[in-house]
Amino acid sequence: MQRYQVVSVRTALLAIVLFLMIFVSACGAGPTPEATNVSEPTLEATADGQAAEPEFADFDPGNFDNPTVIDNEWMPMQPGTEWVYEGTAVDDDGKSVDRRIEFIVTDLTKEIAGVRTVVGWIVDYTDGELVEKEIAFYAQDNDGNVWYLGEYPEDYENGEFVEAPAWITGIEDAKAGIKLMAEPQLGAPNVYQGWGPAVEWSDFGHVEQMGQKTCVPVDCYEDVLVNAESSLGEEGAFQLKYYARGVGEVRVGWTGPDETKEELELVEHVQLSAEDLVQVRADVLEVEKHAYEVSKDVYAKTSPAE
């Protein structure tokens, strides 16, 4: 399951003050499902009692006339926009760790499977240590749906590169999926957000709640959309991703037997300066250069970002 982890590291006193502020806020809602009245998601069962298979949306490259203009109200992606999330999760040893995720929409684009995509740049830290750098690819179709066409993540341990489990639409049977619908609807079936069988990437999701309220350090939001997301093999475990109109993802929670128990908040939402964006562009191209060297079967088969 793709995980964006977010809730800030504060002193005990500041954490208590923030909790009390959110608790008494008229639009406040805590990070857990119970605090926002979000029920536990369940997959529709088939006749034999097994969870229903998520659906693949119909991906048609001919339905992307202006794919790099992503103005979906739930997931707007203007070049230079940065979201910073801080939070906690549980590691493999059952220990709580601090998390920080920086997500930036670059001014780079890349053609994938006949569609020009927007290049996202994601940097992931655990307890202050870099654990992942990722290049991710998004496009909006003519109906306003935001598609996910692949990713190149580099995993690090103790500052050293470990692996890069990349998947790209059209290579090694990988398929594009929808990250966010133009018109999310309750009761809609689970839809794959992408499909990378070579690296066992099988995220899917559905709309769990609409019209929710939540507060994070950046602001308080009403009419929030909550998506429940999981992947094959994670029986009953879901991430709850909260989307505010005109902003994007503002909170991440969890429900079910999710061993990582991620609780995340948006702590910064800014527009980068031209100088900062130039540096981001250089960072992405440096990682892409490495991708062509280490991902011969996947990334090396794509055209360069530009």
Predicted local distance difference test score (pLDDT) of residue 50: 37
Q: Are strands 81-90 and 160-163 parallel, antiparallel or unpaired?
A: unpaired
Greatest CA separation found in the chain?
58
Predicted local distance difference test score (pLDDT) of residue 52: 60
In angstroms, the Cα distances linking 132 to 80, 101, 121 are: 20, 10, 11
Tokens 């960072």 sit on residue: 283
Kindly report the pTM of this predicted structure: 0.85
Rounded distance between C-alpha atoms, residue 168 and residue 170, angstroms: 6
**DSSP three-state, residue 251:** strand
**DSSP three-state, residue 274:** helix
Beta bridge partners of 246: none
Predicted local distance difference test score (pLDDT) of residue 53: 83
pLDDT tens for the chain, 306 residues long, are 344 433 333 333 333 333 333 333 334 333 443 344 444 444 343 333 334 689 999 999 999 999 999 999 999 999 999 999 999 999 989 999 999 999 999 999 999 999 999 999 999 999 999 999 999 999 999 999 999 999 999 999 999 999 999 999 999 999 999 999 999 999 999 999 999 999 999 999 999 999 999 999 999 999 999 999 999 999 899 999 999 999 999 999 999 999 999 999 999 999 999 999 999 999 999 999 999 999 999 999 999 999
Residues 215/22, Cβ–Cβ less than 8 Å: yes
Question: How many C-beta neighbours within 10 Å does residue 111 have?
Answer: 17
Beta bridge partners of 7: none
Which two structure tokens, joined as six digits, stand for 141? 């179709």
Rounded distance between C-alpha atoms, residue 184 and residue 58, angstroms: 16
Classify residue 54 by burial, with Cβ atoms within 10 Å: 0-12, 13-18, 19+.
buried
Q: CB neighbours of 138 closer than 8 A, spacing ≥ 6?
A: 70, 77, 117, 118, 120, 146, 147, 148, 149, 179
Element containing residue 84 per DSSP (H, E): strand 81-90
Residues 133/264, Cβ–Cβ less than 8 Å: no
Rounded distance between C-alpha atoms, residue 186 and residue 161, angstroms: 41
Q: CB neighbours of 90 closer than 8 A, spacing ≥ 6?
A: 96, 97, 259, 260, 261
